[in-house]
Every structure is written in C-alpha cells, then in structure tokens.
Structure 1
Amino acid sequence: MVGAVQGRDGSVLRVEGPVTPVTDIEFGKPLAVTMTPIPGLVVFDLPVHGDSRGWFKENWQREKMTAAGLPDFGPVQNNVSFNDAVGTTRGIHAEPWDKWVSVATGRIFGAWVDLREGPTFGAVFTTEIDPSKAIFVPRGVGNSYQTLEPDTAYTYLVNDHWSPEATYSFLNLADETAAIDWPIPLAEAEMSAKDLAHPRLADVTPIAPRRTLVVGSNGQLGAALRKEFDGVDGIEWTTRNEFDLADPDIASARRWRDYDTIINAGAYTAVDAAETPEGRRDAWAANAAGPAALARIASEFGITLVHVSSDYVFDGTAQRAYREDDAVCPLGVYGQSKAAGDAAVTTAPRHYVIRTSWVIGEGKNFVRTMAALADKGVDPAVVDDQRGRLTFASEIARLIRHLLVEDAPSGIYNLSSEGDAQTWADIARRVYALTGHNPSRVSGVSTEQYFAASQSPVAPRPRNSELDLKRVRAAGFIPGDGDQLLRDYLAS
C-alpha cells in the first residue's frame, strides 16, 4: 500500500512505508512504530498470535505502547462500529480528543486529514488497517475509513466523552484538494447524507490548539508572564474573581480537555499574616488546597501543570545551597502551606515546580522600598543574618516558557539569579550604590533585633535561602547575573 500526504499548497507526496495490505492477518510481528507525515499520527504494528483455533492480540497495552512512543493519552471510552458490507464509508470527522483506532475483524482503508490550525493543515495520510495494525490519531486530525471486507468491526478508544460544547470539524469525503484515492469509488460506496454534505477544505474551520490557562495573572509574576508571552495565541489570563481555586465546582469550570497547560501564578505570600488564624486559613486555601485541585484536573486531563514555590519550604539550617531533592522542612505556616502545595502538584504526571527565593517584580517589593528610602534620605537598618539570592519575576517567566517550549522533564527546578549569596543588608547597600547614594547609610541588624518591636505575629525565616542551580542549567536555561538584573531593574 502507498501512503499519501498533501500540504496546504495542494501538492501531493506519496509515501512508501511498511503499511502493505494483507488479506490474512500477519502473525508474529513485533510491536513496531511507523511515523507518518502528519505530526502525531502514528501507525503501530501489533503482535498477533494465532493457530488453528483463531488469534489473540493485545490491542491496547499501556506500558508497552507508551514505551514505544505512544502518548499516555488516558482513554475513557471504547467505541465499536460494525459494518456489514464492503464499501461502507464513514466521513472525515475531526474531534477535540485523541483516538486509538484498530480493527477487530475485517480490513479497512483509512484516510486521515490534518484539520488543525498550522502549517500541516490539509495534509493527508492513507493506509490499510487490519487486526495486526493500529493508528494513534491526535486531536484535530480528521478520521475516516472505507471497509474492504464484509463484517468489519472498527474499534477506537477515545480520551474524552462526547459533548455538545466541544468544537468539531468535518471535511467532505470527495474534497478535490485532499484528493483521497478511495479503493471503492464514492459513487459506489455506502455513505450517509450528512457526510456527503460536509464542506470542502477551503471552508473548513480548523481545530484550534489547546489553550494555556494562567491562574492569578494580576500579581507580579502574572505581569512578567504577560510580557514574556506577549503575542502568543491561545493564552487565557484569569484573576481570582474570574477563576477562584476555592470554588467547589472547579472541576467543571472549564472544558478541561481543551487545555494543554495550566500556569499557577497565584499564591498567598503574606508570610507574617499567615501566622494569624485568618491568614492561616487563607494561606492553606491558596497555597495547598488550590494547587491540589489543579493537580487533580491536570492528572485527569493530561494537562501540564506549572507551579511556583518558595525557599520557605526549607528551614535554612543547611550549610550549602539547597537542592531540588532535599527534604522539605518548613518553619512557619506560609512555608508549610507551600510545601503541601508542592507535594500535591508533583502528583500530576506532567508538572513543573519552580522553587524560587526573594522574588522581585512589578509592584511593592524590597528593592523598590530600598530605592525609595534612599531617595527620601532614610538610613535603614536591614537584616544581615539571612542569606540568599534575588529571583526576578521576569526570570521566572522566562524559565516557564523555556521548560514548556523545550518539553523539559517533569520535576522541581530551583531558580534564582546567578552570583554569590548575599544578605538583605548587602542587597540594600547595592541598591543605594546603584541609585547614587552612600551604601554605608545601610546598617545591619539581626532578624530578632529587626522584629523586636513588632506587635503582630512574625513568621520564622530561613537563615539560608541559597538554591542550587545545577539542574536548571542542565535543562539548558542559564539564569541571569544577579547584579546585572538588579541594574536593569532599577534602570527601568
């Protein structure tokens, strides 16, 4: 059999491959994969074992097939279409879910047309499928077939349930641009009136890519993400008013199968207020329960979940920089709630937890405060027994994009700026110097001295917040130099 692929410009490329039709089932083939010119559309050879009594095959075996390269697409429904006569032809339908297509008995000629937005829109691939073959059909690729033997049972697993709210696309079986070479002419085939009425390719509405949901987009990280992803299509920006993680109906708040990525940019960050009864409740809701709800959704629908964490998950007693695999040991409510959120997020099969320290972005923060005090002539006393490195929100946004674009391995990634660890007092002095003021105006005090006069609850702080950056560098991301980032920030 000869496969065919066609591009947007109408040119047709015939593709020879190991997809030769067989009248009888071919026994004893090893499990093997054949890529097609349509991205994500993959043909599988299935081992079939038979004797005089009949045959047996593993039609779907998650462990073996994912090891062979099949996406772990999470099927939720199995459908079977039985066809009495040769020439029964089913229309070209593209749905917003993935399919695992095979034949239980009989043989079909299959035709697949890429109806997704993008450069391969309109590409065509054809081949024959008998019980010894199967094909993975990704979301948005139109699927159709024609029976070549009587009593053919066509079966497919799908990873979502049919919904009237879903977006579908259809293509006419006789479309001249696709130019599918049906073995049995359509004039002699058995087809439905609905399939005959579907539009030509020029009138097809393409299936849009899955979207990205940004949760908590009105904070300093949200602002940085908006700049980093400026001009990128398919991003949905939400605030707490529009998407509340505490909503008990969050699982049904969206048609989640239409999303590819969730970026959780929201958090409760008032570390001292978290030590109060009301703050404790709010911190656990935002930092633990919310991410846990997102992790459940991500797990069920195969969504990549991105979550930003904190150095406060550690107690700061280590004598070296903290690594991603160090055991968490938070001191206060804020750190405890963040550690719980991290644990929940890592249950999602596709996840990135970005662990940061001393975040600086738009809005009120330590650097802005020091610059303002310098301009006002204030000589501040600043803590000098906590050590770490600044992490700029722009760098967090840059890393998030890098991990997603590069499809980096799931897991925890530490992030801060490059350079030697410093105290808060060191950073304050550097801010004074860079803004044209005398850095000696900044004096150092201990954490206990700084909070001695406080009448409100004070959260314990880790004394060592330095994060090891080896893993993020190994992922191909080079953190920016801390001093240069500070210069650029103050200049802007």
Structure 2
Amino acid sequence: MTEFNKRLKAISTPIPGLTLWDLAVHGDSRGWFKENWQREKMVAAGLPDFGPVQANVSFNDAVGTTRGIHAEPWDKFISIANGSAFCAWVDLREGPTFGTVFTAILDPSKAAFVPSGVGNSFQTLQPNTSYVYLVNDHYNPGETYTCVNLADETLSIHWPVPLRNANLSANDRRHPRLRNVAAIPPKKILVLGASGQLGTALREHYARASDIEFADRSDIDLRADNLESLREWRNYSTVINCAAYTAVDDAETTEGCREAWAVNVRGVAALTQIATKYRLTVVHVSSDYVFDGSSSNPYREDALPSPLNVYGQTKAAADQIVASTPRHYIVRTSWVIGAGRNFVRTMATLAQRGVDPRVVNDQRGRLTFASELAAAIDHLVSETAPYGTYNVTGGGPVRSWAEIARRVFDLAGKDPSRVTGVSTSEYNKTAATAGAKRPSNSALDLTKIESTGFRPASNDDALSEYIQSIASQIA
C-alpha cells in the first residue's frame, strides 16, 4: 500500500550508484499527487544531475509480469504510477561489486536511480501496474545490450511469483548465466594534446590505467570541422583537454592571433558543445595570464579576468565557454615545467655552460610541475570534486623568475650570484622583440583545491628532484 507524506530521501544500496528514493505522496479523498521527478530538489538531495532525454511507460496487465535483467548504457530513474513491483538489480560493471544483487519493492511512494551498467528488472505484484522510467540517452534498436538470466543460480533472486509461473518473454528466458556475461568496462577518459608537457605527464601518471586514451594533434585537431565524428563520444566519461596554442609572444602577430583564437576558443567551443550533448566531464586547463597581475594578493578562482595579451584573452574567453557546460573542471595554473624545453631546464643548462643570465625580477608566481598538475587533475576527476574552477600550482613561497633562476643555479652546484635580476622593461630593451605583456603577479590562491584534500607539493622539493632528474642530460 502506498505510504503518504514521506519526506524526500535517498537510501543507499550495496550497488555503487544505485539509490532508492522515498517520494512524498500527498493523498486525500480524491486520490493522490506526487512530484515524480523534481530536478532541483532531487539533485540537492544527492541524485546525479543525469539529464533525462526520454520518458517511457511500461503498462502491465497481470500479476507476475516479469521483465528481464538488462544493463543499457544509460542512467534510469524508475518509479511506479500505479500498482507495485518487485525490482531486482544486478551490478554488471567491471570491478569488485560485479554480480552484486539488490532487491526492493517499488510503489508510487518509492523510486530508484539506476546507473549505467547496472542490470534492471521487475516483476509486477498487482494488476494494472504502470512502471515509469526516465533515461538519459535514446534507445538504439541496432545495438545489443548486456543482460543476465533471471533464474541464474548464483544471483539467487527470490521472485515472488516463481519464474515457471511468471509471464516473461522467450528472449528473457534465454539470457546467459552470469558466468558467461562479459563485465561492462568503465567509460573511458580521453586526453587531448597528449604530446605536450602536461599530456606527457598524464601519460606517465596514467601509465597503468587501461581506460585512458591519448590523442595528439595528428589524431584529433580541435580546429577540425568534423570534430564530433572523430570519436564515438558516448563511450567516454571525461575529456581532459591539454591541447592549446601557447606561443604567447607569437600570438601577438596577425597570424599567431588567428591561430590562438582558432585553437583556444573556437576549438574549445566545439569541444564544449560535444561535452554538453554527450554529458561528458571536461577538464580544461586555464592560465594565470587571464589576469593583469595588478593585485597585491594571490588570485582567487572568482577574480575577474583582465588579460594583458592575446593569449590571455583567448584563455579567458575559453574559460567562460567551458563554464557553460554542466560538468566541468577549469584548472587554472601558472609557469608549467615538464618534459621538453622550459625555463628550469634552460637555466640549468646555462649554469653548466658558464653563461651568466639576466632574468626578470618583477614578475612573481609559483612554478607548477606538470606531474603535480596531472596528479591534481586525477584527484578532481577520481574524487568527483564539485564542478567548477580550481587554481593548481606548486606549493611554497611566491618567487620571482630571477629568484627561481638563482635557486636552479644553487641546486646545480653553481654560484647563484651569476644570475642578474633586471626589470621587465630593462629586459625587453635588449630582447629581439618586445613580445607580449606579462602579469607582474601570477600567484594563485590554493585554498579551494586544498579544501578537496589535495595539497600541492613544495616547489623547493619538486625543483630539487627535477634538477636531479635532468642532471645527466645537461652535463
């Protein structure tokens, strides 16, 4: 019998992601009313914002009508409009809970959220039972979906109406036993721009992962007109976009400006549209260059952008675009050091070769080692941190480029006083070209990322380890 006036509440189950829901049903002499699906309240109570695109109703005449255990590649929100049903769910996803069973009786006052990859079935307990479900993808009659036999002995589901007496299809009776079912693999993570500093670090970080794909520009070019056709996007859960135009000085030229906007803005906009359509999580890498550096304090995530150069303008524009998709992490960073040419490697090489460099001393910030940035991205995604913007740099004190150069010389066993600090304007007087304007303060506030449980490693320790790792290459 339907319970009235329950409070909306989620109830966890042994199957990860599968939740039962108490629904508030209001009844009187005329009948009853309920909010069967209420996005705002349910999301606030813990339901994933799963974006349903289709509503289906299964009407069942007789008691004992039984539908097979099917695991489709979409999420479902299941409820009863009339009658009641015994429901059984089986986890058919790869992992330690494969084969886990959970059962419950649903009536109009109770619903269930079933994540993709969990087999779903029911048996009616009353005549004229109407079973309603919302799904977040469209049914494709040409696809074959994973299923398991209702009578599988290892599942030991105690059907109220014995299956020999139940009304079920011949196909459902022929479904395979659990031992013959291939577990459903997790959706994949796709890393774009996988040949750059951060992409290389992510390759190393995810070296043992089997559900990560890497694509460089030759595989996927964000500028391509057919970007959506380059992958079967519904097979992915997350896209980490490391692809970007990063030639800051060249972006000030006519051709460089066009290229920067094409890759950093138009390409990101196309990717964001795909992410929204297929409900993907997008990890987008932003930059301290979205700020002008005039603040006397480290920049928080919610500081207003005010870029000084074309590159910064494109990154600020991309941030706004990415923020429009529901599932996003904008990871803002500064002064990235990874594989290939970079400031630290250059300074270490100059130290070994006896060159005494002039380095600007009025631009301040923190280095970010690509390995640390990769670890932070993995942390946000794997821990399902709240979506939004996060600053990520190395930890420790804020320093100027000149101070960092001196530290490099010291770690390389050379006299740090060989580094001469100069102002940006003085440095530009002797440079081949004036180049793009840089912010004087690139320090980013790390409070928000630390609140998620990720504490960036000390830059001093990371710099020392990096110098040791490249010592043989620059000797």
Within the alignment, does 1:283 sit opposite 2:265 as a pair?
Answer: no
**Structure 2 counterpart SS, 1:82:** strand
| Equivalent-residue separation in structure 1 for 2:196 and 2:144 (angstroms) | 32
Instruction: Show CA shifts across 1:307-363 (max 9, x none).
Output: 211111111112222222221100010000011111122222232222211111000
Within the alignment, does 1:429 sit opposite 2:429 as a pair?
Answer: no
Q: 1:283 touches 1:334 (CA, 8 Å); kept in 2?
A: yes
1:344 maps to which of 311, 316, 321: 321
Instruction: Map residues 68-83 of structure 1 onto 2, 5 A cutoff.
Output: 68-83=45-60
Instruction: Show CA shifts across 1:188-245 (max 9, x none).
Output: 1222111111100000111111211111111010111112222123111111221222
Within the alignment, does 1:269 sit opposite 2:234 as a pair?
Answer: no
The verdict on how the C-alpha distance between 1:165 and 1:461 changes in structure 2, with shifts beyond 3 A counting, is farther
2:473 aligns to what? none
2:10 maps to which of 33, 36, 51: 33
1:402 maps to which of 350, 374, 379: 379
Which stretch of structure 1 is more off in the superposition, 285-294 or 111-120? 285-294
**Structure 2 counterpart SS, 1:186:** coil
| Equivalent-residue separation in structure 1 for 2:444 and 2:275 (angstroms) | 27
1:325 aligns to what? 302
| Equivalent-residue separation in structure 2 for 1:137 and 1:406 (angstroms) | 20
Instruction: Map residues 245-260 of structure 1 onto 2, 5 A cutoff.
Output: 245-260=222-237
| Equivalent-residue separation in structure 1 for 2:49 and 2:438 (angstroms) | 41
2:106 aligns to what? 129
Q: 2:428 touches 2:434 (CA, 8 Å); kept in 1?
A: no
Instruction: Show CA shifts across 1:111-144 (max 9, x none).
Output: 1111111111111112222222211111111111
Within the alignment, does 1:372 sit opposite 2:349 as a pair?
Answer: yes
1:145 aligns to what? 122
TM-score normalized by the length of structure 1: 0.90
1:239 aligns to what? 216
Measure how far apart 1:449 and its partner are.
3.0
The verdict on how the C-alpha distance between 1:478 and 1:32 changes in structure 2, with shifts beyond 3 A counting, is closer
Q: 2:149 touches 2:174 (CA, 8 Å); kept in 1?
A: yes
Q: How many residues get paired? A: 469
**Structure 2 counterpart SS, 1:187:** coil
| Equivalent-residue separation in structure 1 for 2:15 and 2:436 (angstroms) | 55
| Equivalent-residue separation in structure 2 for 1:32 and 1:486 (angstroms) | 50
Instruction: Show CA shifts across 1:228-266 (max 9, x none).
Output: 222123111111221222233334543433322221112
**Structure 1 counterpart SS, 2:94:** coil
Q: 1:224 touches 1:361 (CA, 8 Å); kept in 2?
A: yes
Q: 2:337 touches 2:367 (CA, 8 Å); kept in 1?
A: yes
2:472 aligns to what? none
Which stretch of structure 1 is more off in the superposition, 215-224 or 403-412? 403-412
Within the alignment, does 1:471 sit opposite 2:448 as a pair?
Answer: yes
Q: 2:198 touches 2:374 (CA, 8 Å); kept in 1?
A: yes
| Equivalent-residue separation in structure 2 for 1:120 and 1:27 (angstroms) | 34
Q: 1:75 touches 1:157 (CA, 8 Å); kept in 2?
A: yes
Within the alignment, does 1:388 sit opposite 2:388 as a pair?
Answer: no
| Equivalent-residue separation in structure 1 for 2:61 and 2:298 (angstroms) | 68
| Equivalent-residue separation in structure 1 for 2:60 and 2:434 (angstroms) | 72
The verdict on how the C-alpha distance between 1:127 and 1:202 changes in structure 2, with shifts beyond 3 A counting, is same
| Equivalent-residue separation in structure 1 for 2:433 and 2:24 (angstroms) | 69
One-letter identity of the residue aligned with 2:244: A
One-letter identity of the residue aligned with 2:342: N
**Structure 2 counterpart SS, 1:213:** strand
Q: 1:96 touches 1:207 (CA, 8 Å); kept in 2?
A: no
Aligned residues: percent identity? 61
One-letter identity of the residue aligned with 1:387: R
| Equivalent-residue separation in structure 2 for 1:320 and 1:44 (angstroms) | 46
2:86 aligns to what? 109
One-letter identity of the residue aligned with 2:288: D
Which stretch of structure 1 is more off in the superposition, 405-414 or 103-112? 405-414
**Structure 2 counterpart SS, 1:491:** helix
One-letter identity of the residue aligned with 1:264: N
Within the alignment, does 1:204 sit opposite 2:153 as a pair?
Answer: no
Within the alignment, does 1:440 sit opposite 2:429 as a pair?
Answer: no
Which stretch of structure 1 is more off in the superposition, 90-99 or 457-466? 457-466
**Structure 1 counterpart SS, 2:164:** helix
Which stretch of structure 1 is more off in the superposition, 215-224 or 473-482? 473-482
Within the alignment, does 1:363 sit opposite 2:363 as a pair?
Answer: no
TM-score normalized by the length of structure 2: 0.94
Q: 2:292 touches 2:439 (CA, 8 Å); kept in 1?
A: yes
Measure how far apart 1:386 and its partner are.
1.4
RMSD between aligned residues? 1.9
| Equivalent-residue separation in structure 1 for 2:160 and 2:152 (angstroms) | 15
**Structure 2 counterpart SS, 1:49:** strand
Instruction: Map residues 50-89 of structure 1 onto 2, 5 A cutoff.
Output: 50-89=27-66
| Equivalent-residue separation in structure 2 for 1:240 and 1:42 (angstroms) | 41
Measure how far apart 1:453 and its partner are.
4.9
Q: 1:79 touches 1:155 (CA, 8 Å); kept in 2?
A: yes
1:99 aligns to what? 76
| Equivalent-residue separation in structure 2 for 1:211 and 1:440 (angstroms) | 50
One-letter identity of the residue aligned with 1:420: P
Q: 1:96 touches 1:167 (CA, 8 Å); kept in 2?
A: no
**Structure 2 counterpart SS, 1:452:** helix
2:25 maps to which of 48, 59, 72: 48
Q: 1:38 touches 1:114 (CA, 8 Å); kept in 2?
A: yes
Instruction: Show CA shifts across 1:50-69 (max 9, x none).
Output: 33333222211111222222
Instruction: Show CA shifts across 1:363-411 (max 9, x none).
Output: 0111111122222222222222212221111110111122223322222
One-letter identity of the residue aligned with 1:361: G
For structure 2, which runs of at least 5 residues remain unmatched after alignment?
Answer: 470-475
The verdict on how the C-alpha distance between 1:165 and 1:427 changes in structure 2, with shifts beyond 3 A counting, is farther
Measure how far apart 1:457 and its partner are.
6.2
Instruction: Map residues 111-190 of structure 1 onto 2, 5 A cutoff.
Output: 111-163=88-140, 168-190=145-167
| Equivalent-residue separation in structure 1 for 2:65 and 2:135 (angstroms) | 22
2:168 aligns to what? 191
